[in-house]
Amino acid sequence: MTIDPSLWPEDREVALYQWVTSNERLDPDRAARELGLTRGEVDTALTALTELGLLKADVDDPARLRPVDPDLVAAVVTTSLEETIRAQQSELHHIRDQFASLRGHYRDSLSRVSVGLEVIPGLDEVRAALNRSAAECTEEMLTSQPGGNRVPAALQEALARDTALLSRGVRMRTLYHHTARFNGPSQAYVAMVSDLGAEYRTAHELFGRLIVFDRRVAFIPEQGGNWGAVVIREPSVVHYLCEVFEQCWTHAEPFSDAVTDGLEAVAKDIDRTIVRLLAAGMKDETIARRLGMSLRTARKHIADIMETLGAESRFQAGFLSARQGLLGGGGTDVAPSG
């Protein structure tokens, strides 16, 4: 049974229904007088109540109207509506299931080159991809190389690639940790390639390993530390990574100063950073990684600093350093990895 919404009981229908239940017999003129309605309004209300099934004529006396239980009428009226709702809910679930079946395909697409990401799992494949991107590079290469110790073999491999880039007029800028200034192979490499036009700076902390070619393709480490890489070509992400590099570059120190009078200032910068990280509750492993030094070297620095300050705990070292003004001037804070 479908009911026209315009027939749902309103105030006058409710009033007339109550009047009938009290008098058990409809007298339209009397009902109009007692309810303050016109005869036309009573007739309209009567029609609505009858069509809704709330009033029925008595079988033995058609002039007498019998009220019907509203709950029974509502059960009949809402049956079709409930069926419609159930049908719509079923359709809704079906639509959701259909779209859910596509979710896996979408997630698979996120790891494909078409959406700007490519995962290269092996070191040899990463080297091949880097060499290819370097050969295609025509304007600029940006590099962040955390860690202070560059092994000669790795530097020798990079020399041919970097020399070829610079010979084509490509601008090459590289960020190292301050600790690279104390590494002999790194010092020699920087001096050699700087003469060819490359630029090198160091910072007390770096945001992580990064290589960007022509601001179009970027390489970052794959999570897990297995020497894999993630290649990023999505323009907005590459732009963001370049902005992070530029902020760190602005506050970094030119590497060339290390050969002359920069070592003492760099050493003090490293010590200030260690004290700040100690005061922040960082573990030895985290401090070593943040500063690009070995765990053994980091622990030696920490022991020397605490002995110099006469501190018995990391917290005390931070407190004493702050009181002596040793925490200031530690360089800029660039969002580091780890």
Average pLDDT, the chain: 79
What would the two tokens of residue 147 be? 């860690």
Same-domain status, 178 and 239: yes
At residue 260 the predicted structure's pLDDT band, cuts being 50, 70 and 90, is: low
Residue 244 has a pLDDT of 96
Whether 334 contacts 273, CB under 8 Å: no
Same-domain status, 270 and 246: no
Same-domain status, 271 and 250: no
Whether 9 contacts 3, CB under 8 Å: no
Q: Kindly report the CATH number assigned to the domain that includes residue 41.
A: 1.10.10.10
Q: Higher pLDDT residue, 146 or 226?
A: 146
Same-domain status, 156 and 246: yes
Asked whether residue 82 is assigned to any structural domain, the reply reads no
Q: Which of 140, 327, 117 is nearest to 246 (CA)?
A: 140
Whether 203 contacts 253, CB under 8 Å: yes
Proportion of the chain in helix, strand, coil states, percent, rounded to 5: 60, 15, 30
Say yes or no to pLDDT of 337 above 50: no
Asked whether residue 127 is assigned to any structural domain, the reply reads yes
For every residue of 246-276, DSSP letters joined together read HHHHHHSEEGGGGGTT-HHHHHHHHHHHHHH
Asked whether residue 307 is assigned to any structural domain, the reply reads yes
Strand partners, 119: 230
Which of 68, 88, 106 is the endpoint of a domain? 68
Same-domain status, 209 and 149: yes
What would the two tokens of residue 9 be? 């009981």
Which of 47, 68, 89 is the endpoint of a domain? 68
Same-domain status, 127 and 216: yes
What type of residue sits at position 41? E
Stretch among 93-102, 135-144, 281-290 having the lowest mean pLDDT: 281-290
Stretch among 38-52, 243-257, 270-284 having the lowest mean pLDDT: 270-284
Asked whether residue 201 is assigned to any structural domain, the reply reads yes
Asked whether residue 147 is assigned to any structural domain, the reply reads yes
56 DSSP 8-state letter: E
Q: Which residue has the tokens 């859910």?
A: 100
Same-domain status, 275 and 295: yes
Q: Which residues contact 48 (CB under 8 A, 6 or more apart)?
A: 7, 9, 13
Same-domain status, 251 and 307: no
Same-domain status, 34 and 153: no
What would the two tokens of residue 209 be? 């390993």
Asked whether residue 191 is assigned to any structural domain, the reply reads yes
Whether 65 contacts 55, CB under 8 Å: yes
Say yes or no to pLDDT of 22 above 70: yes
Give tens-digit pLDDT for 28-83: 888 888 888 888 888 888 888 888 888 887 777 666 777 888 888 778 777 888 88
Same-domain status, 124 and 251: yes
CA distance linking residue 6 with residue 112, whole number of Å: 57
Residue 329 has a pLDDT of 44
* Overall average pLDDT of the 212-222 stretch: 95
Give tens-digit pLDDT for 98-146: 888 887 776 666 555 456 788 898 888 998 999 899 999 999 999 998 8
Same-domain status, 129 and 203: yes
Q: Kindly report the CATH number assigned to the domain that includes residue 183.
A: 3.30.870.10
CA distance linking residue 158 with residue 227, whole number of Å: 16
Same-domain status, 243 and 282: no
CA distance linking residue 284 with residue 1, whole number of Å: 77
Whether 234 contacts 116, CB under 8 Å: yes
| pTM assigned to the model | 0.55
Say yes or no to pLDDT of 2 above 60: no
E-state strands within 25-184: 55-57, 65-67, 117-120, 140-145, 171-177
At residue 169 the predicted structure's pLDDT band, cuts being 50, 70 and 90, is: very high
Asked whether residue 316 is assigned to any structural domain, the reply reads yes
* Domain span at 295: 263-323
Asked whether residue 84 is assigned to any structural domain, the reply reads no
Residue 148 has a pLDDT of 59
Number of domains in the chain: 3
